[in-house]
Chains A and B, each alone.
Chain A
Amino acid sequence: MATQTQTQPERIEKKALGEPIIQLENVNKWYGDFHVLKDINLEVKKGEIVVVLGPSGSGKSTMIRCINRLEEYQEGSIKVNGIEVNNDVKNLRQVRSHVDMVFQHFNLFPHLTILENLTLAPIWVYKRPKKEALETAMYYLEKVNIADQAHKYPNQLSGGQQQRVAIARALCKNPEILLFDEPTSALDPEMIGEVLDVMVKLAEEGKTMITVTHEMGFARKVADRVIFMDAGQIVEENEPEAFFNNPESDRLKLFLQQILHH
């Protein structure tokens, strides 16, 4: 394991990064008395791929869930594509048309077929004609290599297949930004690869992605930047090479030791 991580990983080819598309400024959040996010500042450029690392409970999920307002924050500001993420219904609708999230436990709708899962939002929220929505859905199902399962129900699919469907569902509204919250943590080891392959493909196409994951290989291969969070703070961030090979803070050194030698 240790020797493997020392070798130079193969990097994907990337397009140049664009304008800032996500901006977090001094974001603070509390759960009751518990200060879960502390002065978070983060700017992500269009096309950038950010991987978030950190021990359990450090606030990684909470941070990315604030970006599409699955969680509220009490102080600071978050902007997506220049739109303030706040209580305003119109803003929220716009923000969510630019961002979607892929969850650890897939969260597919079990009462709908795969195809219905994919066309639900395009038809009802984005008012696409049904035929067009179906074509888009099939296009993305093919992209995640699962077109042959279109008429099944989620529970009839393996975990890896379900997660690929969840990614395709998120893609159907063509968001610029994808948030991934430990997309492979609930999967059996042999299925992790198939999901990561899809994510790499998206990275190559220039999607903006923030990914919370423990997959170091993925971080090394595609990340433009790796962020280390601990106790609600961003403690350190760097390009993957430097991040893994020359960590500066003691907390990150300790964390890397723990995950690389477990």
Chain B
Amino acid sequence: MAVYPTIPPKEPPLGERGAIAWVRHNLLSSPYNIAFTILGIGILYLIIPPFVKWAFLNATWTGHSKADCHPGGACWIFIRAKLDMFFFGFYPHDQLWRPKTVIATIVALVAASKFIKGFNKLKIALIVMFPIYAYILLRGGYFGLSPVETSKWGGLLLTLVIASVGIVLSFPIGIVLALGRQSKLPIIKSMSVFYIEFVRGVPLITVLFMASVVLPLFFPEGVNFNKLARALIGITLFEAAYVAENIRSGFQAIPKGQYEAADSLGLSYWQKMGLVILPQAIKVTIPNLVGTFISLFKDTSLVMIIGLFDLLAMVTVTANDRDWLGMDTEGYVFAAFIFWIFTFSMSMYSKRLEKKLDTSKGK
């Protein structure tokens, strides 16, 4: 019998490592790839230099009025002048400390949550209390705070209110719908299927119109049912159908053995779903869910059509200001940037969450 010494690993040849290898494998691996690489570089060349010139090199950052701006460059003074309106809409100027306090609280809570381990009672209490606190502070009418009608809320504040309420409320409703769709009871099942398929077959604009025109018909004359509440109901019910479908796809990824093990241990239906199936289904569906929530976040701008002024609507409003006519481009670029910051953080967060919940590797 022969015995051979172990061979220590060697570095791969030069062409197989580092940047050179990456370029070769990803950009130049075939004639098509080479053609697309050249095309891509060409397009970037056409777009990036003019944009950089406009947005940075020729841009004006300081000054007070439109007259201070150089032609041929972005006029960022406009954004600075209208920042409060972009962020808070028509919220009374002397009361702006209120939304600012709410935002500061969010930042503080997010930072603090790093130090509170696990999902304990304190966290649940905070999650339940926060919306009440935020509503009282923003809406006023209590504790000597002057009332601020929700029709005055606007800009990014409104966008965030709609998106977060939509996300938080559509999630449990979506779960219930998804469970309904799985149900063995024919009535519950067909009602869930009908609801989900109906809503998914209708554009959000229609749902918003219906919420703003049809919903008030269900309430007695004189009940003041404000626009924001209608929009929230519309968006929540719309989004719930999509959440339900996401979760259903999560259910399908759970092997039958998980149901059987739960049954065999004696878990009831709700225990089985709540403790075994749902946590796993939600986990596999996080990327899709976050995708859904990102599109919800962007769709909030549709509330414009029922007369609410979210961030995007505020661009239209401010660019119509007589002193700042023609500033649409700056406004839209700014709005795009803000939207991007939020959606990008959401997808980064989902990546982190996925990693954190991944139990297949060592901790």
Contact = CB atoms under 8 A, between A and B. Distances in A.
Interface string A218-239: 0000000000000000000000
Interface string A100-127: 1101010111110000000011001110
Contacts of A155: 359-361
Interface residues of B, number: 23
Given A124-B271, A153-B360, A70 B264 contact: yes
B362 interface: yes
Contact of A173 (B261, B266, B280): B266
A97 interface: yes
Interface string B263-306: 11111100100011001100100000000000000000000000
A96 B276 contact: no
B257 to A, nearest CB: 4
B267 A109 contact: no
A158 interface: no
Contact of A107 (B258, B279, B283, B362): B258
Interface of B: 255, 257-258, 260-268, 271, 275-276, 279-280, 283, 357, 359-362
Given A96-B266, A100-B265, A107-B260, A125 B359 contact: no
A169 interface: yes
A157 to B, nearest CB: 11
B253 to A, nearest CB: 12
Nearest to A155: B360
Interface in A84-109: 93, 96-97, 99-101, 103, 105, 107-109
Contacts of B263: 68-70, 96
A156 interface: yes
6 contacts: A68-B264, A107-B260, A109-B280, A120-B267, A125-B265, A125-B266
B275 A100 contact: no
A91 B360 CA distance: 37
Contacts of B266: 93, 96-97, 121, 125-126, 173
B361 A156 contact: yes
A109 B276 contact: yes
Contacts of B260: 70, 101, 103, 107
A105 B283 CA distance: 21
Contacts of B362: 156
